[in-house]
Structure 1
Amino acid sequence: MTTVPTEFDATIHPAGAELTPLAEYLAGVLRGLRPLPALDLDLTQAYGNVLAEDVHAPGPLPAFDHAAIDGYAARFEDVVDASPSRPVRLNVIGDLGAASWRPVRLTPGTCFSIGSGALLPAAADVVVPVHATDQGMAAVEVYDSPPRRGFGLRRSGDEIPAGALLARAGTYVNPALVALLASCGIGHVVVRPSPRAVIVATGDELVDVGRASQPGQLVDANSHALTAAAAEAGAHAYRVGICDDDPEGLRGLLEDQTLRADLIITTGGTGVGPGDMVRRVLSRRDGQRPPVRFTDVSVYPCTSLGYGNVPSMAGAEGVPVVCLPGDTGAALIGFEVLARPVIQVLAGADPVFRPSVRAHLLETIKSPSGLREFRPAYVAERRGGGYTVAPLAGGPYTLSGLAEANGLMVLGERVTTAPAGSTVDVLLLDRRR
Structure 2
Amino acid sequence: MDEHLADILRSVRPLEPIELQLLDAQGCVLVEDVTVPTALPPFDNSSMDGYAVRTADVEGASDEFPVVLTVVGDVAAGTADLPVVGPGEAARIMTGAPMPPGAEAVVPVEWTDGGIGRGPAATMRAHSSAPEDAGGEVRVHRPVQDRQYVRARGSDVSAGDLALEAGTVLGPPQIGLLAAIGRGSVKVRPRPRVVVMSTGSELVQPGEPLGPGSIHDSNSFALTAAARDAGAIVYRVGAVADDAETLRSTIEDQLIRSDIIVTSGGVSVGAYDVVKEALSQIDGESGSVEFRKLAMQPGKPQGFGFIGEGRGGEGGGTADRTPLLALPGNPVSSYVSFELFVRPAIRTLMGLPQVERETVRAKVDAALTSPAGKRQFLRGRYTPPARGETLGSVSPVGGSGSHLVASLAHADSLIVVPEDATAVASGQELDVLLLG
Q: Which of the residues 390, 396, 399 maps onto 2:395?
A: 390
Q: Which of the residues 40, 55, 71 maps onto 2:50?
A: 71
Any conservation in 1 of the 2:82–2:101 contact (CA below 8 Å)?
A: yes
**Pairwise CA distance, 1:249:** 2.1
Q: Which of the residues 409, 413, 419 maps onto 1:413?
A: 419
SS in 2 for 1:223: helix
**Pairwise CA distance, 1:257:** 1.4
Any conservation in 1 of the 2:363–2:428 contact (CA below 8 Å)?
A: yes
**Pairwise CA distance, 1:219:** 3.0
**Pairwise CA distance, 1:362:** 4.3
Match of 1:152 in 2: 149
Give CA deviations for 1:26-84 in whole Å, capped at 9, x if unaligned. Answer: 23211221222222122233334333333332222212211111011223444353332
2:330 paired with 1:324: no
Q: 1:78 to 1:344 in 2, by over 3 A?
A: same
What is the total number of aligned residue pairs between the two structures?
408
For 1:272 and 1:198, locate their aligned partners in 2 and report how far apart those are by CA, in whole Å: 24
Match of 2:63 in 1: 84
Any conservation in 1 of the 2:73–2:83 contact (CA below 8 Å)?
A: no
Residue identity matched to 1:347: M
Q: Which of the residues 137, 140, 156 maps onto 1:139?
A: 137
Give CA deviations for 1:388-415 in whole Å, capped at 9, x if unaligned. Answer: 4433225216522221223334443344
Q: Which of the residues 327, 337, 354 maps onto 1:334?
A: 337
**5+ long unaligned stretches in structure 1:** 1-20
For 1:414 and 1:284, locate their aligned partners in 2 and report how far apart those are by CA, in whole Å: 36
Any conservation in 2 of the 1:267–1:323 contact (CA below 8 Å)?
A: yes
Match of 2:19 in 1: 40
- Bigger drift between 394-403 and 413-422 goes to 413-422
**Pairwise CA distance, 1:286:** 1.6
Any conservation in 2 of the 1:309–1:317 contact (CA below 8 Å)?
A: no
SS in 2 for 1:194: coil
For 1:77 and 1:27, locate their aligned partners in 2 and report how far apart those are by CA, in whole Å: 71
Match of 2:304 in 1: 307
For 1:264 and 1:305, locate their aligned partners in 2 and report how far apart those are by CA, in whole Å: 14
Residue identity matched to 1:248: E
Alignment of 1:362-373 (within 5 A): 362-373=365-376
- Bigger drift between 68-77 and 353-362 goes to 353-362
Residue identity matched to 1:233: A
Any conservation in 2 of the 1:258–1:314 contact (CA below 8 Å)?
A: no
2:30 paired with 1:58: no
For 2:61 and 2:367, locate their aligned partners in 1 and report how far apart those are by CA, in whole Å: 67
Any conservation in 2 of the 1:100–1:119 contact (CA below 8 Å)?
A: yes
For 1:424 and 1:76, locate their aligned partners in 2 and report how far apart those are by CA, in whole Å: 65
Match of 1:353 in 2: 356
For 2:371 and 2:142, locate their aligned partners in 1 and report how far apart those are by CA, in whole Å: 71
2:243 paired with 1:246: yes
For 2:141 and 2:423, locate their aligned partners in 1 and report how far apart those are by CA, in whole Å: 71
Q: Percent identity?
A: 41
Residue identity matched to 2:64: S
Any conservation in 1 of the 2:298–2:377 contact (CA below 8 Å)?
A: yes
Q: 1:120 to 1:333 in 2, by over 3 A?
A: same
Match of 2:219 in 1: 222
Q: 1:313 to 1:115 in 2, by over 3 A?
A: closer
TM-score by length of 1: 0.83
Any conservation in 1 of the 2:75–2:98 contact (CA below 8 Å)?
A: yes
Residue identity matched to 1:254: I
Residue identity matched to 2:229: E
Give CA deviations for 1:115-140 in whole Å, capped at 9, x if unaligned. Answer: 11111134544321111111125232
Any conservation in 2 of the 1:376–1:398 contact (CA below 8 Å)?
A: no
- Bigger drift between 44-53 and 300-309 goes to 44-53
Alignment of 1:97-136 (within 5 A): 97-102=76-81, 105-122=84-101, 124-136=103-115
Any conservation in 2 of the 1:53–1:168 contact (CA below 8 Å)?
A: yes
Any conservation in 2 of the 1:132–1:144 contact (CA below 8 Å)?
A: yes
2:398 paired with 1:400: no
Match of 2:266 in 1: 269
For 1:149 and 1:366, locate their aligned partners in 2 and report how far apart those are by CA, in whole Å: 71
- Bigger drift between 334-343 and 30-39 goes to 30-39
For 1:216 and 1:150, locate their aligned partners in 2 and report how far apart those are by CA, in whole Å: 77
2:234 paired with 1:231: no
Match of 1:15 in 2: none
Match of 1:11 in 2: none
Q: CA RMSD in A?
A: 2.9
For 1:36 and 1:314, locate their aligned partners in 2 and report how far apart those are by CA, in whole Å: 8
2:383 paired with 1:377: no
Any conservation in 1 of the 2:287–2:321 contact (CA below 8 Å)?
A: no
Q: 1:55 to 1:364 in 2, by over 3 A?
A: farther
Match of 2:122 in 1: none
- Bigger drift between 206-215 and 345-354 goes to 206-215
For 1:409 and 1:80, locate their aligned partners in 2 and report how far apart those are by CA, in whole Å: 67
Q: 1:359 to 1:366 in 2, by over 3 A?
A: same
Residue identity matched to 2:410: E
